[in-house]
Chain A
Amino acid sequence: MARASRRKMFKFGAAAAGGALVAASTRVASAAVPAAPAGPLDDAWGHSLGAGVDDRPYGQPSKYEKDAIRRYVPWLAQSPQADASFTPLQDQPGIITANGYFFERYHAGRISVDPAKWELMIMGLVKTPLLLKLEDLKRFPSVSRIHFLECPANGATEWPAAQLNSIQYTHGLIACAEWTGVKLSTLLNEVGVKPEGKWLLAEGGDGSHLTRSIPLEKAMDDCIVAWGQNGEALRPEQGYPVRLIVPGWQGNQMVKWLRRLEIGTSPWYTHEETASYTELLPNGTALGFTWVAEAKSVISFPCPEKPLTGGPGFYEVRGFAWTGRGKIKAVDVSFDGGVNYTRAALQEPVLDKCMTRFTIPWHWDGKPAMIQSRAIDETGYVQPTIVEARAVMGTAAVYLNNAIQTWNVLADGSVNNVQLG
């Protein structure tokens, strides 16, 4: 197109800004015709020069996405440094959680580790102890795997009753990322675990120096000593420069700011696996070593934060399912509070110990509806109702809530978190 005619288009666009609407394609095809009115292609962003490559050396989301952020519950913990923030699942389109969305759980705040000073000690019942610097660790053969990471307290507020009217707060202690690092088995083979070595202790370098015991079979199976997260270095929130990934197991076992691995004969029964992260049952005894995250799912659209805004008609119901026991086999969705279920479509990829996306079409008739999703994993395990889960765990439980979530869709399209009995 000649320069003169392009200038004409600019002038035309400004002049016609208040004009009647016709199809944008018509206007583009006959740009020289002055009668053509403004349309959606002539908004302000199309009349001006955008920012250059020198503007944002590290990218950031659109300013219009300012509400898609982590949030925390102010009354949940004693201090923001010993608290959790929640992933905005309502804003997560696919199975990968954006690094800025990824929920936080701190026991002594987010620290800033100098990678030049970072070291990993591997010791205990090994033939040759090893001290690695970050550049040493990165020389070992590496893998990249996509795995979810869930806090066992995800859904804790919902044990007594439906309390928080928000998917972010009821389900946001989960996230999913591609992790890159060295398989733990590679490092353990390098140091040579002695025959009597049956357990691994992983220790963090933050002020909590958090420790968890992991049986050697799991350590040698699929654990990763990770430095990469979704296309960049591990975020400080996730343990920069190195964290442990223990696929499918409790989030707190995936020790952040990892600084030490020790091999021993038996578990250490640390604070984080006795005083914390154990479940006190109604009979007064406690469950420990509940490592695996059981199958769970939730509908992320619609949800309390994302109501139905277009009136009756077609919607795609969307959500996430995951299991620490392998792959998700199926997800069923109910629109009538669990009386009848319809099988949803699983969206690829369906990966091991990974968030899996499901969708199901819905022609909403505008009437109130109780919508639920129910995950089934490859072991055949079926996600329970809250009534079933509570029969075992009681109403004062904190951890291990993997119950089916009910969203109550009202006639005006708004959505509330309810529990059915």
Chain B
Amino acid sequence: MFSSAKLFASAAFGTVALGTLAVSAVAVAAPVPAAEPLGYYAIGMTPDAAQIAQWSIAIKPDGSNLPPGSGTVDAGATVYGAECAMCHGTFGEGVDAYPKLVGGVGALKTQKLKTVGSYWPYAPIVYDYINRAMPFYAPRSLSNDQVYAITAYILNLNGIVPDNFVADAKSLAAVKMPNRDGFNFKDPRPLTHDVACMAHCADPKALTVTSDASKSGITPRTTGPVDTMQGTPTK
């Protein structure tokens, strides 16, 4: 008797709860489609073409979206001297650890020196990078003509364009960088295909310590906030 009453009560409660859920689903949480259709949320504003143009600074390797303007190698030497040379050196040789911009062309296998001349595959991306990120201490402070001129000067330092080169949207797209074909953009990994050996995976007698960081002497001390050096690396 008691049990059946209990049973009935639970069943009734279940019905009420289900009913509540159904109601709230309609009234409060309208179901969201698996893939929301275009403009479903209608939040934010639609920018106009002029606004979009202001944001649109990304250049592609084919030179698309390069802006109007131009710059000569000579003009570039002047701007570069004022804006870039303090870090990258007058002739792109690099100051301290700041990146070298010149050298190593054709010698990536032996010298491993990655410069604009030796490594960067696309001239329009030189413009893109200077325009978006340089100078380091004041990015986005150069005019289009100045960026074109610096690009011309750096390409000329690397022997990629002649002294009379004028950089603009058309001429940069036509420059073939020495390492244009040097990249494999299809990730070949995984590069190793091990099996998880659990026992006798190596000959214990053949195991030797080939290097020991406790003997390198270049680990910054890690004893507190003020870390001091044990040494400097040999490069």
Contacts and interface: CB of A to CB of B under 8 A. Distances in A.
Contacts of B212: 162, 408, 416-418
A73 B208 CA distance: 28
Contacts of A107: 133
A136 B114 contact: no
A418 B139 contact: no
B18 interface: no
Interface in A383-419: 383-384, 388-389, 392-393, 396, 400, 408, 416-419
Contact of B125 (A271, A291, A400, A420): A271
A238 interface: no
B99 to A, nearest CB: 7
A269 interface: yes
Contacts of A207: 133, 136, 139-140
B141 to A, nearest CB: 10
B207 A339 contact: yes
Contacts of B207: 337-339, 370, 420-421
B68 interface: no
Contacts of B214: 165, 304, 416-417
A211 B132 contact: yes
A142 interface: no
Contacts of B204: 336-337, 339
A282 B188 CA distance: 15
Contact of B35 (A163, A189, A259, A266): A189
Interface in A221-274: 259-260, 262, 264, 266-271, 274
Interface stretch (A6-14, A20-28, A40-48, A63-71): A63-71
B182 interface: yes
A211 B44 contact: no
Interface string B129-141: 1001100100110
Interface stretch (A52-60, A77-85, A312-320, A346-354): A77-85
B200 A340 contact: yes
Interface in B155-188: 179, 182-188
Interface string B41-74: 1011111000110011111110000000000000
Contact of A78 (B96, B110, B197, B203): B96
A141 B125 CA distance: 36
Contacts of A161: 210-211, 213, 216
B208 A123 contact: no
A362 B29 CA distance: 53
B90 to A, nearest CB: 17
Contacts of B17: none
Given A189-B37, A207-B136, A274 B183 contact: yes
Contact of B51 (A131, A291, A292, A408): A131
Given A78-B96, A285-B183, A340-B199, A208 B132 contact: yes
Contacts of A336: 204
A133 B192 contact: no
A111 to B, nearest CB: 11
Interface in B116-161: 116, 119-122, 125, 128-129, 132-133, 136, 139-140
A285 B182 CA distance: 5
A380 B13 CA distance: 49
A269 B125 contact: yes
Contacts of B40: 189-190
Contacts of A69: 225
Interface string A194-209: 0000000101000111
Chain A CB within 10 Å, residue with most, of B182, B220, B225: B220
A420 B132 contact: no
A72 B225 CA distance: 10
A123 B202 contact: no
Nearest to A393: B191
A191 interface: yes
A93 B210 CA distance: 31
A275 B182 CA distance: 11
Contacts of A67: 222-225
A408 B195 CA distance: 24
B197 A201 contact: no
B129 A141 contact: no
Contacts of B46: 128-131
24 contacts: A66-B225, A69-B225, A75-B232, A128-B39, A163-B233, A165-B216, A189-B38, A192-B38, A207-B133, A208-B139, A262-B58, A266-B60, A268-B128, A269-B121, A271-B125, A271-B128, A285-B184, A289-B187, A340-B201, A341-B201, A382-B192, A382-B195, A416-B214, A419-B209
Q: Which 3 A-B pairs have the closest CB atoms?
A: A284-B109, A161-B211, A421-B210
